[in-house]
Chain A
């Protein structure tokens, strides 16, 4: 139980792929400047593909020899992406259009390949699945938050609902503004995590000191 909790928290917060590991920046920048809905869509697509690829690769981890593991992983991920592409085109054409060229780029998304290489090939299926879901969720939440900010500042709307009619800072609908928001978001996130860690350390130190005093007495 504790193991799964650790994996989840790591994937979601402490090793968040977007803010802490800074992986997969290309689709990040492209999607957050479009709108919050396309950012969320990209996040969820990556979540699905990441989880499925983690499960498959973890299941095959003893079968695939070490020397060909990268080509095999790429083939598996590419198959999954193609399949998801077909599904989206048939059932969710709006999402398919908004993702555009970046749907095919998920094949070489660092998050997918990185988690497959670093985690799925060394852990059981269950753990790999949880890790995939956690990382995917972390990616989605990060993207959605930044997408909301960019969309609100850039076009005054929120998930398509026009809130501010004429106030728009157009640079946030362009990659330059997305980069700015990304950088500032990483700074804020790191600050929050640091503060959290610091307070946890302070509490742990206080506890340790009290224990020491108790023992000395």
Chain B
């Protein structure tokens, strides 16, 4: 397709940014977390990441091929369709594959996870993204939806020994991690003052040493590096993840304080609740996604605050790591927010009401 003539309505803005560029930026930002995950969880993690990316790209290719009549007339157009696909390939499915791989845990049955991630990828790309219209038209974050699909389908990714339903985080086999308890699970079941002896210090949480969890989400330092890079490149706004995390922390502290007869607000609960589980990863890489978050500033404020409060509430009462579910919920509410929190149109100047008389 010839891209030299572009028809659009004013205002016209000339920019060097392309979808491909932004997606490559996100890939680079994800790289530290991916490397940290491979370091902590071994070569199985690398295999899972590669398989996930491959499955996502392959699914997109197959869907494009079928939908663009690659199979009609005995594959006469096959080559043309393939060329067309490579021309319009923006790296969105690569990013989806990366994120999906980073929010699943490796278990001792890693070969099983390999083929399960294929199903998650097919669901995420073919059903959540392509069926609804492709890039920019997905209703919810495809990686989160794929993760939820995998969690509901393959129960061994959810179950763990020791902690009830501490899903999305921990790994059932201790040979792949240094300790055998995820800090979030311990935190949720016991609270801060009577935590088990495997309680981890915030430094450990930050570096991710000895924390069991999903591949990409344990080394918080790597995620923060990615966050800084994304802010510098202007891909996400700096205040969005921060707002989310701050509200999350405070709500978690409030909730923990209200459960006992006396109101004890243990501010020390703030850091661990923010640094445990997938909250940091979700806040930096999944919630600020352009397609599934509101467009105006007020809408975004509401989105992040509501998301954080919801996450803290659900974590407290269900004692599970539910960041993916919360992301899905907030994505579904986004069109509503967009509809009712109307943004100021470009160039609109509010008329000052003229006072009566002088």
Contact yes or no, A174 B152, CB < 8 A: yes
What bracket does the count of chain A residues touching chain B fall in?
under 10
Among A169, A172, A177, max chain B CB count under 10 A is at A169
Task: Tell me the interface secondary structure of chain B in the complex.
Answer: helix
Is A204 on the interface with B (CB-CB < 8 A)? Answer: no
User: How many A-B contacts at CB < 8 Å in the complex?
Assistant: 16
Interface of A is mostly: helix
Please determine whether A169 and B154 come into contact, CB atoms closer than 8 angstroms.
yes
Contact at A170–B149, with CB atoms within 8 Å? no
B152 & A171 in contact (Cβ 8 Å cutoff) = yes
B154/A180 in contact, CB under 8 A: no
Chain B, Cβ-Cβ closest to A170: B153
Minimum CB–CB distance from A113 to chain B (whole Å) comes to: 33
Give the Cβ gap from B295 to chain A, nearest Cβ, in Å: 28
- List the A side residues contacting B119 at CB < 8 Å: 169
B72 shortest CB reach to chain A, Å: 11
Which of A168, A171, A174 is most buried by chain B, counting CB atoms within 10 A of its CB?
A171
A23 to chain B, nearest CB (A): 24
The answer to whether A169 touches B153, judged by C-beta atoms less than 8 angstroms apart, is yes
1/0 contact trace for A176-209 toward B, CB 8 Å? 1100100000000000000000000000000000
Interface of chain B residues 112 through 161 with chain A (CB within 8 A) = 119, 127, 149, 152-155
What per-residue 1/0 map shows which CB atoms of A152-176 lie under 8 Å from chain B? 0000000000000000111110101
Closest to A176 in B: B152
Residues of A within 8 A of B127 (CB): 180
Q: Quick one: which of B320-338 are within 8 Å of A by CB?
A: none
B122: shortest Cβ distance to chain A, in Å? 11
Residues of B within 8 A of A177 (CB): 153
In the bound complex, residues from chain A placing their C-beta under 8 Å from that of B155 are: 170
Interface centre among B119, B127, B149, B152 (most CB of A within 10 A): B152
Question: What distance in Å separates the Cβ of B325 from its nearest Cβ neighbour in chain A?
Answer: 13
Task: List chain A residues, Cβ under 8 A from B153.
Answer: 168-172, 177
A168 and B155 CA atoms in complex are apart in Å by: 10
Q: How far is the CB of A157 from chain B (nearest CB, A)?
A: 16
A176 to B154 alpha-carbon distance, docked (Å): 14
**Assembly CA distance A168 to B152 (angstroms):** 11
Chain A, 36-54, CB within 8 A of any chain B CB: none
> Looking across the interface, which residue of chain A has its beta carbon closest to that of B119?
A169
Contact partners of A168 in chain B: CB under 8 A: 153
The chain B residue with its CB closest to the CB of A187 is B131
Cα distance A74–B149 in the bound complex, in angstroms: 40
Alpha-carbon distance A171/B146, docked complex (angstroms): 12
Question: A170–B155 Cα gap in the complex (Å)?
Answer: 8
Q: How far is the CB of A147 from chain B (nearest CB, A)?
A: 18
Residues of A within 8 A of B152 (CB): 170-171, 174, 176
- Known pairs A170-B154, A172-B153; list 14 more (Cβ under 8 Å): A168-B153, A169-B119, A169-B153, A169-B154, A170-B152, A170-B153, A170-B155, A171-B149, A171-B152, A171-B153, A174-B152, A176-B152, A177-B153, A180-B127
Interface residues of A (CB under 8 A from B): 168-172, 174, 176-177, 180
Q: List 16 A-B contacts (CB under 8 A).
A: A168-B153, A169-B119, A169-B153, A169-B154, A170-B152, A170-B153, A170-B154, A170-B155, A171-B149, A171-B152, A171-B153, A172-B153, A174-B152, A176-B152, A177-B153, A180-B127
Q: Which 7 A-B pairs have the closest CB atoms?
A: A171-B153, A169-B153, A171-B152, A170-B153, A170-B155, A171-B149, A169-B119
Q: Which residues of B contact A (CB under 8 A)?
A: 119, 127, 149, 152-155
